[in-house]
Amino acid sequence: MVAVKTSSETNTLIQLSNVSKVFDNGVTALKNVHLAIKEGEFVSFVGPSGCGKSTIFKIIAGLSEPTSGTVELQAHSATEKLDQSDIGFVFQHATLLPWRSVIDNVALPLELKGIGKRERRKQAKAVLNLVGLNDYETSLPRQLSGGMQMRVSIARALIAKPKLLLMDEPFGALDEITRQTMHYELLKIWEKTNMTVLFITHNVFESVFLSTRIAVMSARPGRVTDVLDVPDYEKNDSFRSTPEFSKLVGEVSKGLQHE
Ligand code: ADP
């Protein structure tokens, strides 16, 4: 069971104002996207393939410029402004280095920063503990299940202590049972780390289970057509079979069908 945080009194961390993106080939990927994301939120982006979800992530991460409009990364504390080094990424495929052990995969971002072996291993052990993989430090990726590989990928993102975690369909390749286990794991991590999480999914059930808010997007040109608040429910197995859960699933699905 995971308790859910509320974000009503926290800072705005990311402000997207009127963001549009037109690629050189003439494709309008995003049109006039407005969205404010508060510190500590868990916001899912749901929408059809090609509606610009990944493009929003790239723009937030500074990997792509909007054609018009602005993206402001704001202060995550009284003194520190969020910058690119505070942003972690997790993708659908774990993209682990097959010849490296679990601990050395997780420690890679610190190795690239020139941090010594003893310190990076210490930090890698701590994040492996957080994702429940401390018994697998010396395993190779191929010895792990898909769900475990995804945990390694999440641990590798967490080792840099991101304030903002961008997750692009991270559980899309997992079977349903593993996916549901990962939901609990992710919510526990979110709770322990105070990160803000932005999460892309095609799965309406997943978005309702995980999020504090859901941004529903339209097909091209991608717009955020609806933003639904998910009330502060306890996230346990019973939640999935409550009328409230079904109602929210219905609302998100309706938002998608309108498009
Ligand atoms: P989603 O993540 O929702 O599937 P994307 O953000 O990846 O969608 O892409 C939105 C649209 O922009 C798609 O039609 C895609 O083909 C197009 N697109 C994405 N990246 C580029 C690019 N670098 N150049 C041209 N078109 C692109």
Q: What is the pLDDT of residue 138?
A: 97
Q: Hey, whose CA ends up nearest to atom 25 of ligand 1?
A: 23
Q: Please state, in angstroms and as integers, the Cα–Cα distance from residue 122 to each residue in 103, 106, 118, 212, following that order.
A: 10, 11, 6, 33
- pLDDT beyond 80 at 191: yes
Q: What is the pLDDT of residue 76?
A: 60
Name the pLDDT band for 9 (thresholds 50, 70, 90): low
Residue type, 197: V
For residue 168, the ligand 1 atom closest to its alpha carbon is 2
H or E segment to which residue 246 belongs: helix 243-257
Say if CB 80 and CB 33 are below 8 A apart.
no
Average pLDDT estimate for 241-256: 92
* 3 Cβ closer than 6 Å to some ligand 1 atom: no
Name the pLDDT band for 96 (thresholds 50, 70, 90): very high
* 29 Cβ closer than 6 Å to some ligand 1 atom: yes
* 218 Cβ closer than 6 Å to some ligand 1 atom: no
Q: What is the pLDDT of residue 258?
A: 66
Name the pLDDT band for 21 (thresholds 50, 70, 90): very high
Higher pLDDT, 143 or 179: 143
Average pLDDT estimate for 207-223: 93
Name the pLDDT band for 7 (thresholds 50, 70, 90): very low
Q: What is the pLDDT of residue 105?
A: 97
H or E segment to which residue 166 belongs: strand 164-168
Q: What is the pLDDT of residue 69?
A: 95
Q: What is the pLDDT of residue 15?
A: 93
Average pLDDT estimate for 24-44: 94
Q: Hey, whose CA ends up nearest to atom 5 of ligand 1?
A: 52
What is the 52 CA–ligand 1 centroid distance (Å)? 6
**Which residue, 252, 89, 94, 61, is CA-closest to 171?**
94
Which range among 11-15, 134-138, 189-193, 235-239 has the greatest average pLDDT?
134-138
CA-based R_g, the chain, Å = 18
When mean pLDDT is compared across 85-89, 110-114, 213-217, the lowest value belongs to 85-89
Name the pLDDT band for 4 (thresholds 50, 70, 90): very low
What is the residue-wise DSSP string for 18-30? EEEEE-TTS-EEE
When mean pLDDT is compared across 80-89, 101-110, 165-174, 234-243, the lowest value belongs to 80-89
Q: What is the pLDDT of residue 6?
A: 46
Q: What is the pLDDT of residue 78?
A: 59
* 25 Cβ closer than 6 Å to some ligand 1 atom: yes
pTM: 0.91
What is the 208 CA–ligand 1 centroid distance (Å)? 25
For residue 25, the ligand 1 atom closest to its alpha carbon is 25
Mean pLDDT taken over the chain: 90
Q: What is the pLDDT of residue 248?
A: 95
pLDDT in tens, 38-92: 999 999 999 998 999 999 999 999 899 999 999 998 766 556 677 778 899 998 8
Tokens (6 digits) for 59: 């723009």
What is the 169 CA–ligand 1 centroid distance (Å)? 15
